[in-house]
């Protein structure tokens, strides 16, 4: 009784065609955007929708597109991982730029060497 509620437009019938999960497609698109135009936010959306889509597809007999959902999840995780690496990198840039470069400049001005 779950099926008709979730997909009112596609009631199960003997002649029903397999349908690609819209969520899986949106997940993949969001994850790709997460690696291009909408960093981090796109990846997070793609990741969540990917897991939701995968559950939906596995529960349903008619929905396909598990490969798309998995691709969305994998790309989503890559986006999140890159975000974490970027955070560490930017922190390093700020610390280095704030402390080391002014420090070296000061040492050079004072003629003390580093």
Partner 1 sequence: MTAQAFLTLATAFGLSTAAGLNAYIPLFLVALLARTTSLVTLNEPYTALSSWWVIATLAVLLVIEILVDKIPAVDTVNDVIQTFVRPAAGAILFAASSNVIGLHPALAAICGVIVAGGVHIAKTVERPIVTATTAGVGDPIVSTVEDAVSFITSVLAIVAPYLIVALAVTAISLLIWWAERRGRRPHR
List residues binding partner 1 (CB under 8 A): 35-37, 39-40, 79, 82-83, 85-87, 89-102, 105
DSSP element (H, E) containing 26: helix 22-34
When the beta carbons of 1 and 37 are compared against partner 1, the nearer one is 37
Report in angstroms how near the CB of residue 88 gets to partner 1 at its nearest: 9
When the beta carbons of 16 and 107 are compared against partner 1, the nearer one is 107
When the beta carbons of 16 and 93 are compared against partner 1, the nearer one is 93
Tokens linked to 56: 């939906």
């Amino acid at each position: 009784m779950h099926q008709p509620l979730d997909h009112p437009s596609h009631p199960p019938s003997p002649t029903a065609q397999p349908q690609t999960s819209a969520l899986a497609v949106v997940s993949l698109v969001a994850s790709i955007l997460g690696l291009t135009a909408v960093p981090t936010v796109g990846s997070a959306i793609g990741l969540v929708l990917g897991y939701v889509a995968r559950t939906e597809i596995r529960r349903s007999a008619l929905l396909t597109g598990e490969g798309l959902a998995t691709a969305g999840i994998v790309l989503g995780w890559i986006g999140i991982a890159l975000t974490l690496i970027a955070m560490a990198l930017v922190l390093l840039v700020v610390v280095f730029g704030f402390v080391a470069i002014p420090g070296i400049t000061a040492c050079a001005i004072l003629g003390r060497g580093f």
